[in-house]
Structure 1
Amino acid sequence: MAKILYIEDDLEISKWVIDVLQEKGHDVNWLSSGEGAIEKAMNADIAILDVMLPGLDGFSVGKRLKMENPELPILMLSARTSVEDRLQGLEFADDYLTKPFYPEELVARIDVLLRRFQGNRLEKVRIGHLDIFPIENRILDYEEKKEIILTGKQYQIFQYLLRHQNQILTKEQLYEGVWGESYIDGDKTLMVHIRYLREKIERDPAQPTIIQTIRGLGYRLKT
């Protein structure tokens, strides 16, 4: 059973989805708008968001949720099927399901996300000289037997890279995924944070082996 935060303003669709999820044993916390979503998400295992919401749209709400809790899986539901909308959603969300959909597909996608993220939380990840404990938000240099303390933003960047390990991420993807805002060309904020992050986790920050720079493209966490 999972605790699901479900945000949808259409009452008829909401009732149908809630019934489907409750039949599968899930505990559903329903909101009709993004108001109060940050607080409710603190106890959620997964968030399901409609795009068209009153007030802040689902994209804005989702970005804020991801910024506050990078380890919260987010599934977007939308009748908007264009490639542009899907790409916009997948900049921060972990899956995007278009309406109409079969209940079996919704349940299956939720199960996949829960397995992926809960697995990340439960397992220790070893990269180079680092042991990473995602559920504890803790990083240990096991060779020197000392804990590495990161700032909140440094850890969010590291966790975002970890979730996309071995993938090349552009500066735009990283910035928008962590800060939840559009990247402005020439902004050095991300570069500065990565420099300080490397000083804490790399054996030789001048020749990084964990967070690699892919020239002309972006960054990659190499495992």
Structure 2
Amino acid sequence: MQAWSMTDVGKKRRENQDSTYVKLDHERNMALLMVCDGMGGVNGGAEASRIACEEFARSVWDTLSGKISGKEAVALLEKGVSAANMEVYTSAISDPSYMGMGTTLTAALIVGEDAYVINVGDSRAYHLKRRAKDKLKQITDDHSVAGDLFRKGSITKEQYDTFPDKNIITRAVGTDPQVYGDVFELKLDKGEVLMLCSDGLTNMVPDMAIEQVLKTSETPADACQTLVDMANRAGGKDNISIVVFIKD
């Protein structure tokens, strides 16, 4: 297993409100990856993503005792989202300066060849098999106004990509007492790539360009750096956070 994370403030924002997390256990052949994109208030976004990242990792990774079944992995991810949500929500209602803060959360738990992905919001997970003919596949669905319209067939992919309020999300960690994530399961064969990212990347760099970088980069660190540079060259309008995982 190889993995790397990178987060960058971008060119327009004063503060980086994203958080990332990577933990590898080569002995057990397990990994936990996460990206959170915070929002709300002067300091709220950064605090929300930090709290969610830490609480999710504590709830999921710190309770793993050995190899688990698929059903147990899914339950663990759902428990992690609930724990992160409650921690952010409680912090928000107890401090007026954090009122209304929240965060996206997209995480992947890898157990051997199995990957379990959960998401809340519009931070994405992608899968790439790296063969010349293979295409980058978005695993998660964006929980956003634009995403809902696209899935209903009300707007085209082209309209979705240029939707004026694309950043308005319909689901977030910490904004309500309860939230649930969507869970996806997939197999990871040798050489395949799993990437998590905030919309600071995907709003700046098209999927085809991301695909080429993931196919040609020698290491996850190289891929992260190249993609951050591309997003900044395209305008860097938001914080950029990326986690790249390669299955050995």
Q: Which has the larger radius of gyration?
A: 1
Give the TM-score taking structure 2 as reference length.
Answer: 0.23
Give the TM-score taking structure 1 as reference length.
Answer: 0.25
Q: Which has the higher contact order (CA 8 A, sep 6+)?
A: 2
Higher strand share: 2
